[in-house]
Amino acid sequence: MTIPAPVGPYELPALKFGYGDLAPVIDADDLRIHHAEIHQKHIDLLNDALKRHPELYGLTIEQLLREFDKIPTDICATVRDHGGGHANHQFFWKILTSKPAPGPSGDLARAIIKSFGSIDAFKKAFESQAGALFGSGWCFLVCKPKQKFALDIVTLPNQQSLLTLPEPSPGLLACDMWEHAYYPQFGNSRPDWIRAWWDIVDWDYVEERLLGVHQGRAQL
């Protein structure tokens, strides 16, 4: 087994859009707080915990979470909460864009229609499951484990990552259902947040992720 080059401490990933570019769905100041303060805080707390186990700095965040059952018990909760928080937000930023396509197309559209009947039926199912999530968490569109061509919707509580599941489902889409993601703009209305969020999803990139899963490429 080759030992990977050290990658830690973990760093805040740059965004592919400016803080003002997702308005009016996400206001510039809310996006700055979400990225530069909330996401950064997860990274800072994760890095602090890893100082006690610097050998883990050799792992990418994806490797760290996939090895979750081997994480030393004294930092297990921190890795779950803040490692998961780092991974989930990194995923979330990647699937957003200021220049969205009108909707899913090509292989992605075909896969969605095959699994859910239609694009609208998929959106309704996603809105319903995300809306029904109790407390804070995330809603994901995933490829089913061992059935790469079937899609499914999964919700996870708090900052749990798909990567920590016993059989990780490759994620295609991630929607942040923490109040900090939508409350400033949409108040208590999760349905309004999700319906607005569709308009900033980078469908072309989500299709690339699907093709990556089919080709066996690992991605976060």
Sign for the pseudo-dihedral over CA of 68, 51, 43, 203: negative
Smallest separation, CB 188 to Mn ion (Å) = 17
Smallest separation, CB 176 to Mn ion (Å) = 4
Smallest separation, CB 180 to Mn ion (Å) = 6
Closer CB to Mn ion, residue 173 or residue 181? 181
Q: Is 176 in the site for Mn ion (CB under 5 A)?
A: yes
- SS3 assignment, position 100: coil
Closer CB to Mn ion, residue 178 or residue 198? 178
C-alpha to C-alpha distance for 135 and 149, rounded to whole angstroms: 31
- What backbone torsions phi and psi does residue 100 show, to the nearest 5 degrees? -75, 150
- SS3 assignment, position 22: coil
177-206 mask for Mn ion (x: CB under 5 A)? Answer: -x--x-------------------------
Smallest separation, CB 85 to Mn ion (Å) = 7
Lookup: tokens for 114: 């095959």
CB-count exposure of residue 187 (10 Å: 0-12, 13-18, 19+): exposed
Closer CB to Mn ion, residue 181 or residue 210? 181
Closer CB to Mn ion, residue 34 or residue 209? 34
Report CA 70 to chain centroid distance, whole Å.
23
Q: Is 207 in the site for Mn ion (CB under 5 A)?
A: no
Q: Identify the CA nearest to 85 among candidates 156, 166, 19.
A: 156
Smallest separation, CB 73 to Mn ion (Å) = 27
Closer CB to Mn ion, residue 178 or residue 183? 178
Q: Which residues form the interface with Mn ion (CB under 5 A)?
A: 176, 178, 181
